[in-house]
Amino acid sequence: MTERKPLIIVAVVSMLMTTILYAGGMFYISGFLPPPSPGLSQLEVVGFYQQNHTAIIAGLTMAFVGTGFMLPLCVIGSVFMAEVEEGFPYFSVMQALSALATVIFTALPNFIWMTAAFRVDRSPELITMLHDLGWIMWATPSWGFAFQLICVAVVGLKDKRPKPFISRWMSYLALWVAVGVAPTPLVPFFIEAGPFAWNGLFTFWVAFFSPIFWIALLFVVIANDIRAGQQETVTGSI
């Protein structure tokens, strides 16, 4: 079995760096929280990029770096999942490939928005097109993360070891979160507003923050596992 503690430490650091760099850069510095309404006029969209030119480029650069820290966490998850599967680790490989898709479609919109902010003297039509393309690309392809959660849940429920890599209740919660992100392909059909627009209740607030809630719980569970392991080591040495 793979030695867990070093990998868990790397996973925790990866999780923290992703949260600090991505969330801080995209939402706090760039001002993309809440996302601008898809119903904004061309002049309003252009004004947003003109008034926040430097902050958008700086924040999205920071967010792009943060997306890179997602990969170590996902790879380590696949390593632990592979310990459970017998034969070829199909779900572990699928989780890793889905994670790569998630990272790509999370990172690419940053370049598109930065391009919109790079030359704010472009025609309003071009800036608005880049703005829309970035948000549709960012909000729509949730299937990557949904597949990740489904793979984790399936392997977690199959893990019958005394110390499974993830708790059963976390596996069931992962399935519910996967259901919660399912409506995001509806984003392109809502060009004004509504619960399925890219800033809507289901396709942003639920689809984005429910995975964050699940990951935060995972962080707590991992921290408790590390602390429990240290206590067992101390107790065993007395």
Could you tell me if 85 and 155 are in contact, meaning their C-beta atoms sit under 8 angstroms apart? yes
Evaluate if residue 234 carries a pLDDT over 50.
Answer: no
The whole-number average pLDDT for the span 32-38 is 89
Evaluate if residue 219 carries a pLDDT over 80.
Answer: no
Per-residue model confidence (pLDDT) at position 25: 92
Token pair 């199909």 is at which residue? 90
Per-residue model confidence (pLDDT) at position 112: 95
Give 52-75 pLDDT, tens digit per residue: 999 999 999 999 999 989 888 888
Task: State which of 6-10, 81-85, 127-131 shows the largest mean pLDDT.
Answer: 127-131
The whole-number average pLDDT for the span 204-229 is 79
Per-residue model confidence (pLDDT) at position 226: 63
Per-residue model confidence (pLDDT) at position 215: 80
Evaluate if residue 175 carries a pLDDT over 90.
Answer: yes
Question: Residue 21: enclosing H or E segment and its boundaries?
Answer: none
Residues in the chain: 238
Evaluate if residue 118 carries a pLDDT over 60.
Answer: yes
Give 133-172 pLDDT, tens digit per residue: 999 999 998 888 899 999 999 999 988 888 777 888 899 9
Domain residues for the domain of 191 are 4-237
Question: Measuring CA to CA, which residue among 197, 238, 151, 215 is closest to residue 40?
Answer: 197
d(CA 135, CA 187): 9
- Count of domains for the chain: 1
